[in-house]
Chain A
């Protein structure tokens, strides 16, 4: 599956468009990670736990989006966008959406 955040794919031509596909997830880290983060706020530096949280959520949301695209018979998703929102303390919602299309190598 070809996934891009551009409207076109270089070297390929869009031959069919199926419409919007989307996937979202709300995830949290365990309380220990939140406590560790609050300590990290004394000394600064990367909050690895929260970076991981974003990475995991992004993968999950994307997988759901790609599953939808596959169901539609698409072989690519273009113009993918991500948005996040905070549902509650320590939890993040990640929403991925894009347009499912079929592409063919252009000659």
Chain B
């Protein structure tokens, strides 16, 4: 009887231990830090004009012609997120843990677009398109869930802030 409890205890330790450690502690910290970084950069990019219109709103002739900007990002899930998702899958409903993962990927890729446009001297992007990318069979039965996105936009000069 006592041995049974010890056995169950060891099992819990082996399975739940790493989950709590990798997911809750490290994964949680990584996610929190990422969101903080995203918030800080969002504030910095406030004046940058971002639209998904095809028509260059408020464009002016700049020193350079409009140019394509592309950004991509792949973000891994963590142990706890994947574990939660597996349970959610049994009962159905919203997979909250993966929703935040996708949000992070989309916000990150957006900021990379803006950064790349800014570095080339542009002050606006239009026709933003965000697509999910497929790296090595994210759709196949694989054990490593991840959020992979690729975004494109056209950078140009706007006279909005002049």
Binding site for B on A (CB under 8 A): 2-12, 28, 34, 37-38, 40-47, 50-51, 53-55, 58, 80-86, 88-92
Contacts and interface: CB of A to CB of B under 8 A. Distances in A.
Given A5-B68, A5-B127, A50-B74, A84 B26 contact: no
Interface of B: 18, 22-23, 26-27, 30-31, 34, 54-56, 59, 61, 65-68, 70, 72-79, 81-82, 108, 126-127, 129, 131, 133-140, 142-146, 148, 150, 152-154, 156
A86 B75 contact: no
A82 B139 contact: no
A50 B136 CA distance: 9
B26 to A, nearest CB: 4
A68 to B, nearest CB: 16
A89 B156 CA distance: 37
A43 B33 CA distance: 13
Nearest to B144: A41
Main SS at interface, chain A: mixed
Contact of A37 (B31, B34, B144): B144
Contacts of A5: 68, 127, 129, 152-154
Given A5-B154, A9-B65, A44-B30, A54 B135 contact: yes
A40 B156 CA distance: 37
Contacts, number: 149
A80 B75 CA distance: 25
17 contacts: A3-B68, A5-B154, A8-B55, A37-B144, A37-B146, A38-B144, A41-B82, A41-B144, A44-B75, A44-B76, A81-B152, A82-B131, A82-B150, A86-B136, A88-B137, A91-B136, A92-B136
Nearest to B138: A86
B49 to A, nearest CB: 13
B134 A85 contact: yes
Contact of B66 (A2, A51, A55): A2
A53 B133 CA distance: 11
B112 to A, nearest CB: 10
B76 A89 contact: no
Closest 3 CB pairs of A and B: A44-B78, A50-B74, A10-B56
